[in-house]
Amino acid sequence: MSEAKLVSSSKKKLTESTGAVGQNATVGSRIFDVLNYLFLTLVALTTILPFVYIIGASFASEYEIATRPMFFIPQDVTVDAYKFIFSSNKILRGFENSIFITVCGTAINLFFTVTMAYALSKTRLRGRNFFLNLVIFSMFFSGGMIPGYIVVANILNLKNTFWSVLLPGAISAYNMMIVKNFFQGIPQELEESASIDGCTDIGILWKIVLPLSLPVLATFGLFYAVGHWNAYFGAMIYMTNAKEKWPLQVLLRELIIMSNGSAGDMANMDADFVQPPEQSIKMAVIVVSTVPIMCVYPFLQKYFVKGVMVGALKG
């Protein structure tokens, strides 16, 4: 009986000590959760509030922007900045060009990225290590802007065409390496069973690999799309004599230059635009160029985190 009481007493003390430890752990985890939520809330506010201010300032008058250092809701609502932006049909044409470049450029990027990554993910490929070393070399060294311009404008003769902004960045070596790692993580048994059933390599890629790769494809498709939407330098140097093919970002850059220049400079640049406001036009330009691409994020959000994590953890 004494031994039974001793064992029972030991179990009771162990249970009490375990409960105390669990309670302390629970309190600590709650404190961590509270601090974590506060920190993430502050980070979110520092990200969201400036954009809310920009939206409010885009509808404010010049006097209000100059006199009020920070506000989210303007006192005198005006749409003069947006009237200036859309006072010419060139902005609508710029929207069409940006959508075309973004859609076609993203499709080209994904095509070359997927096909090259799938081929390099196969160890049976002859010369695989040689091609991988070439890809890695291109991640650290490049020819530079001037040789690139000579190749695009003189050798390939793509100047003043959409191909001049679509082909030079047709593939990202870094993204391709991550997609390759993702393909290597797909069970080989699936591809072997499809091969036994008579499926070719292209059929395996189309019917087996791509349906299993939607997260990584959506993620890098979003990366490519954002890059094409925000790009302006390529069109600015390659489309000097084809302003009708300018994307939205180049036109908005021209509006910023016009809003900071004199009346004579603006008349020389484009006679279709009216006299712009000086400050609210900058805010409106940010809204016009940012909101369309932000509308894509909700549709790809469920794939985003998974696509970033998977593939980056495999060698």
pLDDT digits (tens, 9 = 90+) for 107-138: 999 999 999 999 999 988 899 999 999 999 98
Coil, helix or strand at residue 25: helix
Digit-coded pLDDT (tens) for 66-77: 888 888 888 888
Residue in this structure with the two tokens 């072997």, named with its chain if needed = 192
Q: Spell out the long-range contacts of 133-141 with Cβ–Cβ below 8 A and sequence spacing 24 or more.
A: 135/173, 135/176, 135/177, 136/173, 136/177, 138/173, 139/173, 139/174, 139/177
> Is the pLDDT at 17 greater than 60, yes or no?
no
Residue in this structure with the two tokens 């691409």, named with its chain if needed = 293
> Is the pLDDT at 276 greater than 60, yes or no?
no
pLDDT attached to residue 144? 83
On whether the CB atoms of residues 57 and 65 are closer than 8 A, the answer is yes
- In this structure, how many other beta carbons lie within 10 angstroms of the beta carbon of residue 46? 9
- In this prediction the pTM is 0.76
pLDDT attached to residue 4? 53
Cα 274 from Cα 269, distance rounded (Å): 12
On whether the CB atoms of residues 32 and 248 are closer than 8 A, the answer is no
For 209-229, what is the mean pLDDT?
Answer: 89
Helix axes 173-184, 90-120, angle to 10 degrees: 50
Burial class (CB in 10 A: 0-12, 13-18, 19+), 37: exposed
> Is the pLDDT at 270 greater than 90, yes or no?
no
pLDDT attached to residue 263? 44
pLDDT attached to residue 271? 46
Across the chain, mean pLDDT equals 81
> Is the pLDDT at 272 greater than 60, yes or no?
no
Scored b (16 or more CB within 10 A) or e, 183-197 reads bbeeeeeebeebeee
pLDDT attached to residue 134? 92
- Going by pLDDT thresholds of 50, 70 and 90, the confidence category of residue 266 is very low
Cα–Cα nearest to 56, from 256, 276, 280: 280
pLDDT attached to residue 313? 45
For 169-175, what is the mean pLDDT?
Answer: 90
Cα 285 from Cα 82, distance rounded (Å): 8
- Going by pLDDT thresholds of 50, 70 and 90, the confidence category of residue 265 is very low
On whether the CB atoms of residues 164 and 234 are closer than 8 A, the answer is yes
**How many helices and strands (H and E) does the chain possess?**
17, 0
- State the DSSP code for 241: T
> Is the pLDDT at 1 greater than 60, yes or no?
no
> Is the pLDDT at 232 greater than 80, yes or no?
yes
User: What percentage of the chain carries pLDDT values higher than 70?
Assistant: 81
Digit-coded pLDDT (tens) for 34-63: 999 999 999 999 988 988 998 998 898 888
